Amino acid sequence: MMWEQSFSHASRVRSVLRVPIHNTGTVSSRADININNELTSRIVEYSNLADDWDGYGGKAASLATVMDALDFFRHYPMTLPRPKSMITGAGVIGLYWEGNGCYVSIDFDGSGCYCYIADRSEDEGGEDRVSISEPLPQRLIEVIADTTDSP
Amino acid sequence: MECGDALKGSGAEGNRCIRLAETKPDCGCEADVARLIYSPLHIDPDTREVTEAAFSDVKDKGLSVQREGHTTPAALRALGEKKRADDWAKGKTDRVFLGIVTGPVQAIRELTYEGGARTFCVYDSALLDQRAHADVCQVPSSPSAMKRARKKLRDLFQRMPRMP
């Protein structure tokens, strides 16, 4: 995908989402997502993938899925490490954090809810369905924090 | 390693079962399976390792793989490069053949959910032009349990694609 096409598409999606191109750092709106532009662009680009993007019939993410993934950051504490993103062949967007023997991964399917696992080497946790509108579960916050060494 | 490899050598004919029991104590002879990777989106840009999402096809369409015991590295490479060339001819120029990641069939079949239920099945699904083709399919469970199992599946495979 050409960068200009990607940027244009990202702008259109952001327009729908009312998310600015640059994170303002202000509070109280969807524009306050605590992620950098690179991650935001990557997530938005997932909705612009061509059919069969992975060589196995992969689908693009739906707009609802992109919105869910971006909305997740409305409740995301700024002190936590930033995630990486991934996409499945079914168009499900994932975020993940990995380090210190911990693995945290979240799936967004556009339903307004997400599924997550938050595992340490010694214990496993997770939930099948958490509403995007709810604050992050404590387990999720704790294990995300454990993926990096404390500053 | 395939059973045939275990039976190579003189004197094996009359002691097939003993030879197999000695070399295959787990009562299986299945080789690794290889997943061909075509999209950079399945690769972590920092670590160059495949993501959990690269294995997500197991839960719906089946993870298409090649049984290494029924093909050769050269044939795997030719398969990947032919698909890339065919896709480019169709205008799908974002496609790259990045190589393969392999995982052991027996260990995949031995993964279980909490409680002991089997997690994945590996089915021989040979095609006319791909006799080594197989599918890895996930046994349904709760969404989080299935997700955790796919991460464990990722861990069983080699993390970085390599050219066969």
Question: pTM for this structure?
Answer: 0.84
Quick check: is A73 in a domain? yes
Of the candidates B41, B57, B92, which has its C-beta nearest A52's C-beta? B92
Under a CB-based contact definition with an 8 Å cutoff, are residues A7 and A20 in contact?
no
Distances (CA, A) of A64 to A52, A60, A111, A136, B64: 20, 11, 7, 19, 28
Residue A119 CB contacts under 8 Å (≥ 6 apart), including other chains: A102, A103, A104, A125, A126, A143, B148, B151
pLDDT above 70: residue A14: no
Q: What is the mean pLDDT of chain B?
A: 90
Residues of B in contact with A50 (CB under 8 A): 92, 94
Does B57 lie at the interface with A, CB-CB under 8 angstroms? Answer: yes
Does B147 lie at the interface with A, CB-CB under 8 angstroms? Answer: yes
The domain tally of chain A equals 1
The complex's ipTM works out to 0.86
Under a CB-based contact definition with an 8 Å cutoff, are residues B150 and B52 in contact?
yes
Query: Residue A151 — pLDDT band, cuts 50, 70, 90?
Result: low
Query: Residue A7 — pLDDT band, cuts 50, 70, 90?
Result: very low
Q: Token digits for A16?
A: 């729908």
3-state class (DSSP) for residue B139: coil
Does B42 lie at the interface with A, CB-CB under 8 angstroms? Answer: yes
Between A23 and A135, the higher pLDDT residue: A135
Give pLDDT, residue B14.
76
Does B154 lie at the interface with A, CB-CB under 8 angstroms? Answer: no
pLDDT above 70: residue B63: yes
Its domain, for residue A52, covers 3-146
Quick check: is A151 in a domain? no
Contact B53 A88 (CB under 8 A): yes
Interface size between A and B, measured as CB pairs under 8 A: 78
Between B138 and B15, the higher pLDDT residue: B138
pLDDT above 70: residue B152: yes
Rg (chain A; Cα; Å): 15
Quick check: is A108 in a domain? yes
Cα–Cα distance for residue pair A54/A151, rounded to 1 Å: 38
Under a CB-based contact definition with an 8 Å cutoff, are residues A1 and B91 in contact?
no
